[in-house]
Amino acid sequence: MVASLCPPSLSMGTEDYIRTIEWQMMDKHKFFPLSMLSSFTIRCILYPLTLIKTRIQIQHREGMYRGTIDAFSKIFRTEGISGLYKGFWVSTAQIFSGVFYITTYENVRHILARNNLHDRTLKALVSGGCASAVGQTIIVPFDVISQHVMVLGQTDNCPKHGKVVVNPLDIKFHERTKTQVIVDITRELYKRDGIRGFYRGYLASLYAYVPNSALWWSFYHYYQDQLRSISPPWVSHLLLQVVAAPLGGMTTTILTNPLDIVRARLQVQRLDSFSRTFLLLWNEERWNIFTKGLSARIFQSCFFSFAIVLGYESIKRMSINEEYKEGVRW
């Protein structure tokens, strides 16, 4: 890796630059507030895609929505803009889990480098997996609650019961404020399962998101290297990064889509095991498990990857310590 602990002006040639801004190179007092602000802004913009993805994954076959555009149109027409943001404020806890996620990612990379592992892709694979394990431990309870809010009250065509209203916890949501609904969901989860209820699907989340995170970071660095090898020297490094990010997101999404559907089904429909949920899903969908909700996930992943990396890499450049600024290339 080009980056070192020596000032770039002393250790780099004229064509070299810091390809990865390392953790120890940044002023954390700048990095953390800017990172949290960037994350909140991006989640505000892209949250409707998360909601649409979840609703499509939960429904039986094409019970209500035929795809991403159809889902957006129906939700907006019947529930208004607020329908696209159901559960948003609960999900914003991901901003705080994101701090632990990125801190874990960067520090594991730093530890691996100190132990003479310098392959960028392999470091990203290990660090991404560790970061996701920490992040999921914090965020799963909020995920469980927000997913119940997302699907509450939507209709679905159930093979056994015909058209039904999705309400797995039997929450009274008519004429109730959003805050009251969230409190009722939280209370009902605890009443039924105790603390364990907030970690329903925790292992499924690890099965889904640890590989997803590990692969995403690996592909992100892999595509960066490939793009760099075919690009003229004058091409912006940040441009290569924001192109590599959606490519990595798309590749990872296609590979891990069935795992994410199983996770969503297990958490919302309150099934009791990963294997049973997978078999139930297979009996319902067969090969559609590889494409169910995939367009929403690809849209979400590509836009999210682009926006997150644009914010993340820009903020790293803004937060870099003075002695490394000469080695940074935009």
CA angle 221, 118, 322 (to 5 degrees): 80
What CA–CA distance (Å, rounded) separates 68 from 155? 16
Ordered by start, the domain boundaries in the chain are 21-319
pLDDT tens string for the chain (330 positions)?
333 333 333 334 435 677 788 888 899 899 999 988 888 888 888 888 888 877 887 776 666 787 788 888 988 998 888 889 988 888 887 788 888 999 999 899 989 988 888 888 889 999 999 999 998 888 888 888 887 777 776 665 555 544 545 666 667 766 677 777 788 888 888 888 888 878 876 877 787 789 889 999 999 999 999 999 998 988 999 999 999 999 999 999 888 887 777 777 776 666 666 677 777 777 777 777 777 767 777 887 898 899 989 999 999 999 999 888 888 888
Q: How far is CA 183 from CA 145, 171, 180, 188, 244, in A?
A: 10, 10, 5, 9, 41
In single-letter form, the type of residue at position 167 comes to: N
Q: Which two tokens stand for residue 1?
A: 């890796």
Which pTM value belongs to this model? 0.70
Residue 162 DSSP SS3: strand
What CA–CA distance (Å, rounded) separates 184 from 179? 9
Question: For 116, what's the count of Cα atoms within 13 Å in the CB-facing half-sphere?
Answer: 0
What CA–CA distance (Å, rounded) separates 170 from 153? 10
Closest C-alpha to 146, from 86, 71, 190: 86
| Top-tier CATH class for 21-319 | mainly alpha
Q: What separation, in Å, do the N-terminal and C-terminal C-alpha atoms of the chain show? A: 18
